[in-house]
Structure 1
């Protein structure tokens, strides 16, 4: 896709066979790219716009419409080339089984056995105050 014009609202509308139910991908303040750019619209980005069908989930369409709606400028154009629609695999009939989380890591590592404490001689005073 490529195009020209000031920031506008870009809409891709997906309609069913009755043309009464519309789902869309709407992007406000959209600026068309000057050079050819791959634009991908994922199913999760398509939401119900209007229509009598109470089902809000996008399940496919019969028609696609590209719209540049008046935003700041109200003028502009887009060119679309090599439009490709990909059929997705069917959703599984049951959700995937959860995987257990990894075991928790210990809060602290075991002491290093190479180091030994040096005992303080009896009667030796403890240091107090800030260390230099």
Structure 2
């Protein structure tokens, strides 16, 4: 199809999405990143956030990812997500529970090395993004 690229979203459990799309916005670690056909090749780390899919000139799908990586080529984007859920299926109560657990884990680090602190802070940020996405669903 002209004006599209193949988008694949894979979680550890299954292939969640695989089809041609016009545009995808992904939550890259450095900030929101829009991908269109012909994009420069790159591999990016993902933070917790929402992947937005555009087809036929409109947003057709929103999927929450807890983090992972994306490989971008001019004709394909492959997202390897740690965890992925359609935004409509998110539970605010579950998201708030996960945020409380992540904050407790951060505050309870027995050996707060820089690597452990960074990983715990990333979990807190992802859980906060999940709460926000669940509230907007």
TM-score using structure 2 length: 0.24
Report the structure, 1 or 2, having the larger helix content.
Answer: 2
Is the radius of gyration larger for structure 1 or structure 2?
1
TM-score using structure 1 length: 0.25
Report the structure, 1 or 2, having the larger strand content.
Answer: 2
More relative contact order, 1 or 2 (CA 8 Å, 6+ apart): 1
